[in-house]
Amino acid sequence: MTHTAAPASTGSPAAPRRGAKHEHRWWVLAVLALSQLMVVLDATIVNIALPTAQRALDFDSDQRQWVVTAYSLAFGGLLLLGGRLSDLFGRKTTYIAGLIGFAAASAFGGAAQTFGELVAARAVQGAFGALLAPAALSLLSTTFTDGRERGKAFGVFGAVAGSGGAVGLLLGGVLTEYASWRWCLYVNLFFAVVAIIGALTFFGRQGPAGTRPKLDLPGTVIVSLGLVGVVYGFSSAETNGWRDAQTITSLALGVVLLVAFVVLESRVAHPLLPLRVVLDRQRGGSYLTVALTGAALFGVFLFLAYYLQSLRGYTPLQTGVGFLPMPVTIALTSTLIAPRVLPRFGPKPMIVVGALLGALGLFILSRIGLDSQYWTTIAPGLVVLGLGMGNIFGAAFNTATAGIDPRDAGVGSAMVNTSQQIGGSIGTAVLSTLAADATARALADGGASRTAQALAQLDGYHTAFLTSSGVFVGIAVLAALLLRGGRPQPRAHAAAEEDAPPVVAH
């Protein structure tokens, strides 16, 4: 990738201007981390509740995917628009609006009496999540400008982003088993209310940074439709296959629209996504890292959950508890190791080492058998994987938003979430296809006995884990080639950043 702007700091932007440090910044971090947890866990918490919800609302199994797909379509398709709206109307305003809308949609979904109402609520959840997530990350980026403090803050935020899916599995299991599937949606009201109170208490007055940008309506429509096409195409591939006309049409249309969007953004006066945001070498490499990590990480959440429940007989709650070593390790690595290493050595060694640890963790998980002991195979694999993810998320989230023009902070932050969402959609579809093909081949060779079917299933899981392990090796190679090495050097802020008031005031 080539530079179109001055080099950005990889780990710590320049020291903040005097008076720009916010006295309640750690409370701000707590509020933002809580809302990020709500958005991330909502992608997995409903998966645990789906079988129970299906029986309660009496819908068919082939319709079940829409409860998940409706959320991912709205979320992935509207992220860039949500990011630009935070630049237009102010991050605090957009953030609170996203919280209110997400909570209202969650309440409606929890009270749903029909399948259509549940799907509609999930779509609205996704839309407001697309408003909320970029605003939260851009608030974090502009609140923490001191290098060491920024490393700690992004370590916490990265821990939440990396482990939220596993927390969703655990929380979903607890709520489904001891309360009701509806509480997997109602629980968002607690998160949202606490976050709204925190935002009103600790976020100072703030508005758009510098000159308010204009909204690129043609670009907004084109990229939203393009992202929806890509996300829907990969969702269709997972259920209908890669040769299905619906899959091919959606993917082709999505790709064409995204190419048209890039061409348009290079020519319009006020682009939705200024290409300087993604063409910066450090930032672009971080976006790619987040996307590929999202693709590979779904191999853990999806197939290990299948293994524990289908082949080992774990309950939903036991499955959630079984995942705990990973989020705990991610949290410890992101908050204790990443903030100390990133300011001294930059993101390159952290991402390379993290990706190699991720590859090793998944290789360990690919060794599981029908009688594997949890503490000798599964737990070690999850711990090693957690060490890797803590390094990757702690470095990539920080680097992706470091040194960005404050006028682009919202849409730049949205690109982080978009990368993770698109990567997850691609990973789910590709890994599901590869696992299904491996299972089919094993069944053809091994017969139809119960043991043969279990072994065939296991063969599919092995294929998914090994493929994900290979993706992490690829991430290590790309990071080594793309990212600059050495200790990050602070740079002078751009003129627009110098003139802009602190996003979060005293």
What 3-state DSSP class applies to 129?
helix
Distance, in Å, from the CA atom of 331 to the CA atom of 393, rounded to the nearest integer, reads 10
- Residue 72's pLDDT is 84
Closest Cα to residue 40, out of 102, 97, 94?
A: 102
What single DSSP character describes residue 209? S
- Residue 22's pLDDT is 66
| CATH, range 25-215+272-488 | 1.20.1250.20
- Residue 210's pLDDT is 53
- Residue 114's pLDDT is 94
Q: Which residues of the chain have pLDDT under 50?
A: 1-20, 490-506
Token pair recorded at residue 184: 């997997």
- Residue 244's pLDDT is 92
**Which residues are CB-neighbours of 365 under 8 A, at least 6 positions away?**
300, 304, 377, 378, 381, 382, 385, 465
- Residue 18's pLDDT is 35
- Residue 469's pLDDT is 96
- Residue 109's pLDDT is 95
Q: Are 354 and 366 in contact (CB under 8 A)?
A: no
Closest Cα to residue 392, out of 344, 328, 334, 345?
A: 334
Q: How many CB atoms lie within 10 A of CB 19?
A: 9
Rounded to a whole number of angstroms, the CA Rg of the chain reads 22
Polymer length of the chain: 506
- Residue 404's pLDDT is 80
Angle between helices 25-57 and 183-202 (to 10 degrees): 160
Token pair recorded at residue 191: 């998160």
φ, ψ at 316 (rounded to 5°)? -55, -40
Model confidence pLDDT, tens digit, residues 422-431: 888 888 888 9
What string of DSSP letters covers 306-372? HIIIIIS---HHHHHHHTTHHHHHHHHIIIIIHHHHHHHH-HHHHHHHHHHHHHHHHHHHTT--TT-
pTM of the complete model: 0.83
Q: Domain extents for the chain? A: 25-215+272-488, 216-271
Q: How many CB atoms lie within 10 A of CB 49?
A: 22
